[in-house]
Amino acid sequence: MTDIISETELEIKLNEFRDILINYDYSEIENVIFFDINSLNYYIENNEGNPFEKQYDAIEKILNSIYLYLPCSLSDDTINVISEILNVKYGDEAIVKQNVLFNIKLEFIDMVKNISTEEEWKKLVQLCKKIRNTKEKLERNEKEYEYLGR
């Protein structure tokens, strides 16, 4: 059984996620120019508490609390991961689950980044709420079923 967050809390977290993803404040490094990806990676690896790390941590924290309510489609990569589940030895299931969740989170990040209107954002929030409500109903039905002694 999982703890289902409220619709209001879900909406707040989704809006916070979007704001952190799209409008993160990088002003503390406004004078820094990265010449290539290697210089960016070097900066990230050697400067603890840098804004990129802070943004990643904030995004990860929110995603970990809402991933149950995120829409996703099964991409080829996800299908391959799920296919591998059938061939996994006992004990490796946690790794497979982490990979699937990682793909869901990445897909959601891409979805949010590609939203161009407020109307599209509202539709995505409504979809997440619908997923949440469905999970709540399923859990409620499961509890009733257990209560009946079945």
Band of the pLDDT at 12, cuts 50, 70, 90?
A: very high
Q: What is the mean pLDDT of the chain?
A: 86
- If one compares 34 and 87, the residue with the highest pLDDT of the two is 34
List pLDDT tens digits, range 95-105: 767 777 888 89
pLDDT for 36 beyond 90: yes
User: What is the domain partition of the chain in residue ranges?
Assistant: 7-69+115-147
Burial of 78 (0-12, 13-18, 19+ CB in 10 A): middle
Tell me the three-class secondary structure of 77-123, residue by residue: HHHHHHHHHCCCCCCCHHHHHHHHHHHHHHHHHHHHHCCCCHHHHHH
pLDDT for 55 beyond 80: yes
Band of the pLDDT at 44, cuts 50, 70, 90?
A: very high
pLDDT of residue 74: 61
pLDDT for 6 beyond 60: yes
